[in-house]
Amino acid sequence: MAHLKSVLTFPPASAEERNAAALASQYAAVRQQTDALTAQLSPEDQMVQSCPEASPAKWHLAHTSWFFETFILSSHLNDYRPFHPQFRDLFNSYYNAVGQQPEKALRNTFSRPGLDEVRKYRAHVDEHMVRLLQSSGVASDVRKLVVLGLNHEQQHQELIVTDIKHGFWSNPLHPAYQPAVAAPSASAAPAQSQQLYPEGLYDIGAEGESFYFDNEGSRHKVFLRPFRLAARLATCGEYLSFMEDASYSRPELWLSDGWKAVQTQRWKAPLYWEQSGGQWFQFTCSGLRRVEEAEPVCHVSYYEADAFARWAGARLPTEFEWEVAAVRAPVQGNLVESGRFHPDAAPAAREDGQPSQVFPSQIYGDVWEWTASAYLPYPGYKPAAGALGEYNGKFMSGQMVLRGGSCATPRSHIRATYRNFFPPETRWQFSGIRLADDGS
């Protein structure tokens, strides 16, 4: 990808040139990160699709290029010729206004184009994107589309990690995606505590010049009663206590659809957990390892998170409560840049017994945190015109909101207003639990 490493030969002079250079540099960095996440995967690895929710890594490489080609190059670069005319449908995900798309569950059946051709497709798109970004007078609406495309690709970077983890777990050989990476040591999780937030009228949602997805706006006021939020995430040890209390066999703890999922899918533990010789083990991106009780519990569904909260005499926070707690916290933590692809234990308390952070720990990274909020539009929400209006809006039914990012989320991609969403039975994502309760 040498063509991305020297986007500009001479230092930019004007403010417009500096902005163009910064965007070109951001484009190169995001595209290179995607390539780095797939570099150790063989062509056979990149064909794996082990569940209907996942996609092959090869498809992620192609689809992210398709996004730039379809929404930017084809409309905004003069004389652009698509790499392959049939790719417009083949690598379309769900944009009905663009055209047809193959059934998602069949993506692993496409042996052609091969991985080499997909990489040529990426290089073709990169070459022309660099040409576009170096041209003079790139319109502001085009620059916004480029930033949207980069954030779209960062979403797929996280999916590459989660999808290949599920694929390798499904393989009886249990191969490792990466070598084990040393994590901060923690013999025990710090004692759980709660922070009280007062009753009040709070501003919720995104605004301003920085990028945000359309589902994060419009900014509006929400009245919240007093509430308490746990200082750290729920741990594997606490979830083991939930399991040992026969909670997967107690219907009173479960929502009706959750109980149906437990019975139908025979859940007994989080995804990737298995018991051997009286010990619990979990599959990680570095292979099978013993469950560490101090680490955050991960790969649980909304139903399991809700049942655990009920068992603990608490509840899940609403997405508005979560945002109020997170909005002043710096975006730092165990994110994809750490290279661990596994949640870490909460930082230990200081010697004086006080928490190590002013804000709730692990509010960013480690695991996506299920909230009690259904994924619905904010007041005043209007999807974008045209095909890009299908990006978020059409999924506002039957899904629950998660907040905070995970150990597979890029740092520059997450923020306090970011709204992730999945169906409540979803477990293959890095999803976990933070408890809340009423403050009165």
DSSP 355-376: -SSSSPTTSSSSSEEEEEEE--
Comparing C-alpha atoms, which of 410, 274, 387 is closest to residue 334?
410
Q: What percent of the chain has pLDDT over 70?
A: 93
Q: What is the pTM of this model?
A: 0.93
- Report the number of secondary-structure helices (H) and strands (E) in the chain: 11, 12
Q: Note the pLDDT tens digit of each residue in 60-114.
A: 999 999 999 999 999 999 999 999 999 999 999 999 989 999 999 999 999 999 9
What contacts 421, CB < 8 A, 6 or more positions away? 375, 395, 399, 400, 401, 402
**Distance between the two ends of the chain, CA-based, in angstroms?**
58
Task: Catalogue all structural domains in the chain, each as residue range(s) with its CATH number.
Answer: 2-170 (1.20.120), 194-438 (3.90.1580.10)
List pLDDT tens digits, range 367-404. Answer: 999 999 999 999 999 888 889 998 999 999 999 999 99
> What pLDDT was estimated at residue 357?
52
